[in-house]
Every structure is written in structure tokens, then in C-alpha cells.
């Protein structure tokens, strides 16, 4: 089964090199905050049946997750985005909790990698 | 490759992390970076500040990337600012649409720093070259305007107004500057040196050669040596100064308004059209002649005619006679003569204007191919008294 908390080290270290090790912890912190906010927005949109708000939120999560090496997390967000665009919010509801659950673990992993 | 100057860049993305990552990359390269979180904020910044490039996300809440691009393309001030679209790999259809709308290039997310630098440098280099080209073009246009003004200003400010004669003239270069010219040189004792010339080719080289010929004729014509000798002497100087194999046809005549005579000399130029008071063509004896600037001793057609009262003479350049209609037929000397037979009762000024309109109509409104010059004079009937 896919581990949504997995971080691709090659991507992460490449980003670290490109941004600078001093800059990375701050941007990871912002990323984690924003992902959390987007997840809350997506959850709320799912509850209210707001297709476009849900799609927009998971689109944003997908886009930035891939940058930090959270490839599976990003891929899952992409799947949810596809479901959102297709209007299949019922199926999205069944998959969305996995993303929610993975988020705190992913956050911790990224923070640790910053200081590794 | 020119050195890419540090530039003012606008990053438009609704995602804070993407904005900050791009800002970090770009500032590290030495660029000045402004950030906008949506399309409206971006357009607000573009209205207030000057940017060298915009990095534009497509999917944004509110005004999206397409709408920003549409607004920028419609705005003459923003149209030239290059836009690099930044999109996810699955958004390639959107990227194609943006490129069709005028975007310069695209990048896929997550943005790679090396690719970002390469695309930005390439777009900025293109913009730099476009800006340089535009500056040069503006300078050239300004210089051409000055050249045009200078060329037109050397033409006679006022036409002769001797008793019993009226004059008219019109010159329309095919380009900003041209190779045609005319002159009316006061020679004293109611005598006027009348000149129409036409330099081979058009544009700036022709205009420079025209200015040289014009000045030489001015000097030689005022030395009372007769128009034929004046043209031979002008030819001598032109051969010495002409390394580009340019040549000029000239019709130069001394009009004596007391004796009503016209002593003309022709160097490869069309004969004038001459119409009697009754509207009938008056014939010149046509002898061979050659343009100036080509031969050591060119053939000059020289003659003296008497100007009957009421007659009208039109000196012209081949921009009139060689005008071509949509069927490819030249207007010719006979076409001009036929036209003048129906308009000879107009004033010389009105005749010149009529010829201009007639030639344009004859060409079917197509773009003017050659310089147009006419110089006309009419001896009034009452001067018989």
C-alpha cells in the first residue's frame, strides 16, 4: 500500500540545495501550515458539496507537495483533484481521510529532514 | 549573447509556497521580485509599476491566468511585457492556449531552478533585443522625419509670381524621403530657372544624391552659362563625387517672362506637356538625351521655344508617366497629355493637384511606387496686351 507520508529524498535534497539549507526550514513550516489550511478548506468543501472549492484546495496541495518530495501525498491529492473535477465528491469523501491522517506525520518527517 | 541585466519580475501565484520559492530563486539571481496572489492584484501592480517579465500561474481563484493574459494583450503598455506561464504538467492544454494568447514560454511545476533561470534568461534576452530594436527603429524614424523635413525645406518656399504668369508645384515622395526635386531659381530681370529632377532609386540614398544634384544645379544655373552648359558642368561634378553609379534625369529651363521664351535643356528626363489655350498639345522637337552622372559627355537635348499667351506647360517626373494601372498599363506621356487637355483651364496649382489625384485613381489606390513631382506654369491671355 502507498505510504502517503513518504518523502522522496532526492527531490527534497535537490530543493534544499536550490533554496539553501538556511531558507528551507522556514518554507517547510509555511508549507505545512498552508497544507493544513487547504485540508481544512477541502474538508469543509466536501461537507458542503462545493465542488470547485474542493478541487481548488486539493489542486494547491498537489502542486506544492510535489516540490517538497511528498510525491505520494501529491499523487493522492492529484487523484482527489481529478475526482473533484469530475464531480465525484462521494468517492473523494472515501479517499480524503487518508490525506488528513498522513498530514501530521508528513509534517514531522519534513521538519526532521530539514535539521538532519 | 548579450548580458542579461538584473530585471524587475512579477510572480503571480495563488499558492504562498510557490510564490516564496520562486522569489527565493529569482532574488538569488539578482532580480527584483514583486509578488501577487491573484490576477487582480497582478493587474494592479502592473498598472503602478514597470516590470520586465511576468511569471504567471494559470489556475487561480478569482481572475485566472487566462484573464490576466487577455487583459495584458489588450493593453498597448503591457502587450510587450513577456509572460512565462507556470503550470502543472497535466495543464499542457492550458499552456498551449496561453502561448496562443501571446505568452512567451512556459514552465511546469514543481519549478526547477536551473530551468527557471534558463527560460527567464532566454525571454529577457529576447525582450532586450526587441527593446534595442524598438529604440533603434524610433531613432531611425526620427532621423527620417528630420531628413524629410530638411529635404522638403530646400524646395522653393514660394513659387515665382511674375506679371502675366501663374505657377503651381507639387511633390509627393513615395517614401519618407525621395529622389525627386524641383526648383524655381530667381535669375533677375523677370527670368526664372525652372528645374525638375529625378534621381535613380528611391529612399535615403536617392535623397542624398538629390540634395547634391539640387545644390550643384543651384550653383551652376545662376552663372548665366545657359541651361545646357549648366547641366554639362553639373554632370562633371556628379561623376567626380558619385561612387555608387547613381544617376539623375533633369529638365532645366530658363523662362524669360518678358520675352516669353523658354530655353530648356533636357538630360534623360521626360519632355514637358504643353497645351495651347484651345486645349491642343503643342509639340517639342524630341532629340536624344542622356541622364547625368553616367557619361563623361552626355547628350543634352537643348532648345528654345516661344510661349504663346494662354498656354500651359507641365514639367513632371516619371512617377506620373510610369504609373501603372491594375492591368499593368503605364499611364504614359500621352495619358498625361489627354488628362491635361481636359483640365488645362484650371490654375497651375489645381492642375498639379488634379494630376496627383488622377494618378492615384489610375493606380487603383495601390501603394505609391515612385516619387511624384510636377511643376506647372501658365502664361495668361492678358499678357498679350
Looking at the domain assignment, is residue A13 inside a domain?
Answer: yes
Pick from B255, B247, B207: nearest CA to B231: B247
Looking at the domain assignment, is residue B329 inside a domain?
Answer: yes
d(CA B113, CA B119) in angstroms, rounded, equals: 10
- Look up the CATH number of the domain holding residue B84: 3.40.50.2300
pLDDT classification of A1: cutoffs 50, 70, 90: low
Do B325 and B234 belong together in one domain? yes
| Number of structural domains found in chain B | 2
CA distance B17 to chain A (A): 6
- Look up the CATH number of the domain holding residue B359: 3.60.40.10
Out of B114, B142, B170, a domain closes at B142
Do B136 and B159 belong together in one domain? no
Do B212 and B128 belong together in one domain? no
DSSP bridge pairs for B240: none
d(CA B207, CA B196) in angstroms, rounded, equals: 14
The enclosing H or E element of B176 equals: none
What is the tens place of the pLDDT at every residue in B298-337? 999 999 999 999 999 999 999 999 999 999 999 999 999 9
Between A89-114 and A9-19, two packed helices, what is the crossing angle to 10 degrees? Answer: 60
Tell me which residue has cell 492556449: B97
Hey, is the C-beta of B117 within 8 angstroms of any chain A C-beta? Answer: no
d(CA B341, CA B318) in angstroms, rounded, equals: 19
Looking at the domain assignment, is residue A4 inside a domain?
Answer: no
Q: What is the mean pLDDT of each run of 10 residues along chain B (385 residues)?
A: 80 93 93 96 96 93 92 93 85 83 89 90 90 91 84 86 94 82 91 93 81 92 90 94 84 95 96 93 90 94 95 95 92 94 93 96 86 94 55
Q: What is the interface pTM, i.e. ipTM, of the complex?
A: 0.89
pLDDT at site B147: 82
Is pLDDT at A16 greater than 70 in this prediction? yes
CB count, 10 Å around CB of B143? 12
Query: Which one-letter DSSP state was computed for residue B383?
Result: G
Out of B92, B121, B142, a domain closes at B142
Hey, is the C-beta of B20 within 8 angstroms of any chain A C-beta? Answer: yes
Nearest to B17 among A23, A27, A62 (CB): A27
What is the tens place of the pLDDT at every residue in A39-82? 999 999 999 999 999 998 998 898 889 889 999 999 999 999 99
CA distance B51 to chain A (A): 24
Q: Which domain holds residue A15?
A: 9-114
- Look up the CATH number of the domain holding residue A102: 1.20.120
Do B137 and B251 belong together in one domain? no
Q: Tell me the H-state helices in A1-116.
A: 9-19, 24-48, 51-67, 71-86, 89-114
- Note if the pTM is more than 0.90: no
pLDDT at site B20: 94
Do B47 and B83 belong together in one domain? yes
pLDDT at site B245: 80
Identify the three-state secondary structure at position B384.
helix
Do B195 and B323 belong together in one domain? yes
Q: Which domain holds residue B221?
A: 155-384
Beta carbons of A58 and A91 less than 8 angstroms apart: no
C-alpha cell belonging to residue B56? 504567471
Looking at the domain assignment, is residue B148 inside a domain?
Answer: no
d(CA B20, CA B23) in angstroms, rounded, equals: 5
Contact B109 A67 (CB under 8 A): yes
CB count, 10 Å around CB of B172? 16
Looking at the domain assignment, is residue A27 inside a domain?
Answer: yes
| Number of structural domains found in chain A | 1
Chain A, residues 24-83, CB within 8 A of chain B, namely 27, 30-31, 34, 56, 59-60, 62-64, 66-67, 78
Do B85 and B174 belong together in one domain? no
Out of B92, B120, B142, a domain closes at B142
Amino acid at each position: 500500500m502507498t505510504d502517503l507520508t513518504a518523502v522522496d529524498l532526492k527531490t527534497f535534497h535537490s530543493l534544499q540545495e536550490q533554496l539553501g539549507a538556511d531558507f528551507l526550514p522556514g518554507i517547510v513550516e509555511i508549507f505545512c501550515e498552508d497544507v493544513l489550511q487547504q485540508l481544512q478548506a477541502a474538508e469543509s468543501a466536501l461537507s458542503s458539496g462545493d465542488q470547485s472549492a474542493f478541487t481548488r484546495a486539493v489542486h494547491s496541495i498537489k502542486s506544492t507537495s510535489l516540490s517538497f518530495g511528498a510525491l505520494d501525498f501529491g499523487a493522492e491529492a492529484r487523484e482527489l483533484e481529478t475526482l473533484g473535477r469530475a464531480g465525484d465528491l462521494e468517492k473523494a469523501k472515501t479517499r480524503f481521510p487518508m490525506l488528513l491522517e498522513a498530514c501530521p506525520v508528513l509534517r514531522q518527517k519534513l521538519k526532521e529532514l530539514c535539521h538532519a | 549573447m548579450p548580458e542579461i541585466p538584473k530585471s524587475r519580475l512579477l510572480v503571480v501565484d495563488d499558492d504562498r509556497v510557490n510564490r516564496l520559492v520562486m522569489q527565493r530563486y529569482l532574488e538569488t539571481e539578482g532580480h527584483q521580485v514583486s509578488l501577487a496572489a491573484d490576477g487582480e492584484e497582478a493587474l494592479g501592480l502592473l498598472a503602478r509599476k514597470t516590470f520586465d517579465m511576468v511569471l504567471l500561474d494559470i489556475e487561480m481563484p478569482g481572475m485566472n491566468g487566462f484573464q490576466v493574459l487577455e487583459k495584458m494583450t489588450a493593453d498597448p503598455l503591457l502587450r510587450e511585457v513577456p509572460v512565462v506561464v507556470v503550470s502543472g504538467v497535466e495543464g499542457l492544454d492550458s499552456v498551449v492556449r496561453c502561448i496562443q494568447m501571446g505568452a512567451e514560454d512556459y514552465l511546469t511545476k514543481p519549478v526547477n531552478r536551473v530551468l527557471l533561470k534558463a527560460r527567464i534568461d532566454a525571454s529577457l534576452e529576447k525582450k532586450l533585443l526587441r527593446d534595442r530594436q524598438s529604440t533603434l527603429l524610433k531613432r531611425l524614424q526620427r532621423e527620417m522625419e528630420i531628413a524629410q523635413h530638411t529635404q522638403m525645406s530646400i524646395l522653393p518656399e514660394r513659387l515665382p509670381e511674375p506679371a502675366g504668369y501663374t505657377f503651381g508645384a507639387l511633390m509627393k515622395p513615395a517614401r519618407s524621403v525621395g529622389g525627386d526635386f524641383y526648383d524655381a531659381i530667381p535669375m533677375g530681370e523677370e527670368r526664372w530657372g525652372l528645374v525638375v529632377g529625378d534621381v535613380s532609386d528611391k529612399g535615403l540614398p536617392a535623397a542624398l544624391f538629390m540634395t547634391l544634384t539640387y545644390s550643384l544645379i543651384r550653383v551652376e544655373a545662376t552663372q548665366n552659362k545657359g541651361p545646357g552648359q549648366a547641366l554639362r558642368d553639373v554632370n562633371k561634378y556628379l561623376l567626380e563625387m558619385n561612387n555608387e553609379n547613381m544617376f539623375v534625369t533633369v529638365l532645366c529651363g530658363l523662362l524669360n517672362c518678358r520675352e516669353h521664351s523658354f530655353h530648356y535643356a533636357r538630360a534623360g528626363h521626360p519632355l514637358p506637356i504643353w497645351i495651347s489655350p484651345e486645349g491642343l498639345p503643342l509639340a517639342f522637337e524630341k532629340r536624344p538625351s542622356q541622364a547625368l552622372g553616367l557619361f563623361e559627355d552626355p547628350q543634352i537635348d537643348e532648345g528654345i521655344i516661344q510661349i504663346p499667351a494662354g498656354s500651359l506647360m507641365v514639367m513632371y517626373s516619371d512617377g506620373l508617366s510610369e504609373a501603372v494601372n491594375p492591368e499593368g498599363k503605364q499611364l504614359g506621356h500621352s495619358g498625361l497629355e489627354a488628362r491635361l487637355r481636359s483640365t488645362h483651364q484650371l490654375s497651375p496649382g489645381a492642375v498639379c493637384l488634379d494630376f496627383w489625384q488622377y494618378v492615384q485613381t489610375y493606380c487603383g489606390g495601390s501603394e505609391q511606387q515612385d516619387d511624384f513631382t510636377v511643376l506647372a506654369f501658365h502664361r495668361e491671355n492678358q499678357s498679350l496686351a
